[in-house]
Amino acid sequence: MEASVTIQTRSGSYVVTAGTGIRKQVIKYLPKSYESIYIVSDQTVADLYLEDIKKQFASNQVDSYVVPSGEASKSIDQYYELITDALEKGLNRHSLVIALGGGVVGDLVGFFASTFMRGIDFVQMPTTILAHDSSVGGKVGINHALGKNLIGSFYPPVAVIYDVETLKSLPLREVRSGYAEVVKHGFLEGESFFRDVIRADLTKPLDERTLTKHLLQGIQVKAAVVERDERESYHRMFLNFGHTLGHALESELGYGTWTHGEAVAIGMLFALKVSQRTFRVDLPYEAYYEWIKTNGYPTVLPPLKAESLINKMKKDKKTKNKQIQMVLLKAVGHPVIQQMEEEFLYNQLKDFLGELVD
Amino acid sequence: MEASVTIQTRSGSYVVTAGTGIRKQVIKYLPKSYESIYIVSDQTVADLYLEDIKKQFASNQVDSYVVPSGEASKSIDQYYELITDALEKGLNRHSLVIALGGGVVGDLVGFFASTFMRGIDFVQMPTTILAHDSSVGGKVGINHALGKNLIGSFYPPVAVIYDVETLKSLPLREVRSGYAEVVKHGFLEGESFFRDVIRADLTKPLDERTLTKHLLQGIQVKAAVVERDERESYHRMFLNFGHTLGHALESELGYGTWTHGEAVAIGMLFALKVSQRTFRVDLPYEAYYEWIKTNGYPTVLPPLKAESLINKMKKDKKTKNKQIQMVLLKAVGHPVIQQMEEEFLYNQLKDFLGELVD
């Protein structure tokens, strides 16, 4: 099975193809031919799939570089080393860079591609579920000692080649983390996609057909938002559903304690609760809560201070004039941006933490 | 006197205003208001003009940062330090960055602005003649240990505010360096602008009216090219007139030995000679040679190896398939891109060096 979606950007368009085993036919999905190919991957993924990609090109035309696995590779030092290596290997503006890996590799390599000799073409080959989100939308970047993703740009790939076969090797925790963003896209899209997603049982191996369908549907939701609004303003903010508290939780618990998706899953639960209170509507809070619980997302929190989380929310990159904005739902498929009254939010959060505390 | 040119870019447009004393009315030229202002300058320029800009804003709304003067500030370390400082001072996406200085400051600060939180607005306030070239066209970037401007992006400013009064403090050598690019724009534009430029006597203080006129005309030439072709392809390459040998000379002599403009001035002389030979046309070689000589550009070369320079030319960022391309003139105002036959070029260069050698 193979399916594709075309994404429009300001400067053109690119095709996202998802399918089984398509990593073995990379050339078929490239928009044109290139003088040379430079594949960047992390150690974990390189061990599994680098050779599959590399052997499709003439040996004098392809080079590769492997970074350590994990978030620490999104550093200024790793970025500079990547540039040094690429220059030493003779990469130029007529070369293509392939980012083979999850979000860390995609973000780092995309940022590298966006700034190497003022920009060269790059292809995303995501190998995680979470990367269905990060590989579309053009956001690339690295971390700064003072915060995540503070250095970056908007730079779309020339193609996304998504081999769902590579997702089979993912640990359950990574599957969970990725599916949180799939569910998010369900919440933004509407009842039918949302209900379809929460039928997924993550504790068993997912069949490739369902996976391909969910990933491409998620990508379509994201693409629809991003096409309206490439640089963050009104509509793109919808994608932050669950992320206001999610980011604060990640930071408060210490990065790596929970996965991004685990934090966002709780963030969405909170956003549902706040939405119900704010708009006096019924949302599938219970059905969603059941799904995250059954599928092993952490639903019991260590003791946390609401005040401290609120302060973190205020420091978010997207904050304007220190007012916290949240994405709320008037219904599944009907997100809105809401300026939050601080005291109300504090009380809601205190209640919420109380319900989930250990 | 004050005059302006509007530059179209892919994503919008911005206005370049040149005039006397306009640094004292910055707010008048900003496209909108900002939460906060962050001025970055180098030590030399900051001592002269930083206060003039700073005092136009409320003291709790403005911050500044001063980098050492000189090319060494276009480093990855300086770039990262700038980001750290900006984060510590609370800069966010609703802030404005002002680059106050010459090309080094404009390139560094523009690259910073293009990648800080994925891009924030910035204004160029050039304080050199050379920066009339670099402040328009959206090229920003820093150096890598392996070469100049290898890290960068295309990122237009939201405004260029060019106070010609600040050019009065320039040393003669900087005036010369800048005027090389003005003459280049003359060569690309046509006889009338070219003849007007070489009437300038750089050894005397230039009157502000002539300066404003030349700078804005030069900017218009560049803008016309850049608007057709923001990312380097056919037309933008015209701007490399004189730069193929120019860059090679800078590198061969060691950066800083000659100014950029001095190297380009000789590069253009060579390009004129090659053009005459290639197309059997008459170009104002003698008039131009007289002008650079009278105005103190170096016209006597140390002993240099043609072979070594040719090798440098082959490594140029713009080289494709290792073939040297040069911008030649069929007439003043009629540039073309020419693939050079290596042996012919080598012989031409050998002759040329022989004529100018010490």
Task: Tell me the average pLDDT across B200-220.
Answer: 92
pLDDT beyond 70 at A230: no
Q: Long-range contact list for A81-86, CB < 8 A, 24+ apart?
A: A82/A40, A82/A108, A82/A109, A82/A112, A83/A112, A83/A116, A83/B144, A83/B150, A83/B151, A84/B144, A84/B145, A84/B146, A86/A38, A86/A112, A86/A116
Alpha carbon distance B196, B81 (integer Å)? 44
Contact in structure between B44 and B73 (CB atoms under 8 Å): no
Identity of the residue numbered B190: G
Cβ-based neighbour number of residue A6 at 10 Å: 10
Q: Do B151 and A231 touch (CB under 8 A)?
A: no
Alpha carbon distance B19, B3 (integer Å)? 6
Q: Which CATH number applies to A2-167: 3.40.50.1220, 2.20.25.10, 3.40.50.1970, 3.20.20.60?
A: 3.40.50.1970
Q: Which residues of A touch B119 (CB under 8 A)?
A: 153-154, 231
The CATH code belonging to domain A172-356 is: 1.20.1090.10
Identity of the residue numbered B326: M
Q: Which CATH number applies to B224-356: 1.20.1090.10, 3.20.20.70, 1.10.3080.10, 3.40.50.720?
A: 1.20.1090.10
Contact in structure between B226 and B236 (CB atoms under 8 Å): yes
Nearest Cα neighbor of B264 from B251, B284, B249 is: B249
Query: What was the pLDDT predicted at B255?
Result: 78
Strands A12-19 and A62-67: unpaired
Contact in structure between B153 and B79 (CB atoms under 8 Å): no
Give the ipTM. 0.89
Identity of the residue numbered A114: S
**Tokens representing A122?**
């790059």
User: Chain A: nearest CA to B208, how far in angstroms?
Assistant: 35
B252-303 residue pLDDT tens: 998 789 999 999 999 999 999 999 999 999 999 999 999 999 999 999 999 9
Q: Which residues of A touch B117 (CB under 8 A)?
A: 150, 152, 317
Q: Was B106 annotated as part of a binding site? A: yes
b/e per residue A204-215 (b: at least 16 CB within 10 A): eebebeebbbbb
Q: Which of B94, B140, B151 to mutate to test the interface with A (most CBs of A within 10 A)?
A: B151
Alpha carbon distance A183, A198 (integer Å)? 7
Contact in structure between A37 and A55 (CB atoms under 8 Å): no
What percentage of chain A has pLDDT greater than the value 90?
Answer: 84
Q: Could you say which DSSP state residue A144 is in?
A: E
**Tokens representing A61?**
């035309």
Work out the mean pLDDT of chain A and round it to a whole number: 93
Chain A: residue nearest B233 by CA? A93
A51-107 residue pLDDT tens: 999 999 999 999 999 999 999 999 999 999 999 999 999 999 999 999 999 999 999
Contact in structure between B214 and B200 (CB atoms under 8 Å): yes
Question: Across the interface, which of A115, A144, A317 has its CB nearest the CB of B83?
Answer: A144
Strands A159-163 and A12-19: parallel
Residue spans per domain, chain B: 2-167, 224-356
Question: Across the interface, which of B94, B118, B319 has its CB nearest the CB of A320?
Answer: B94
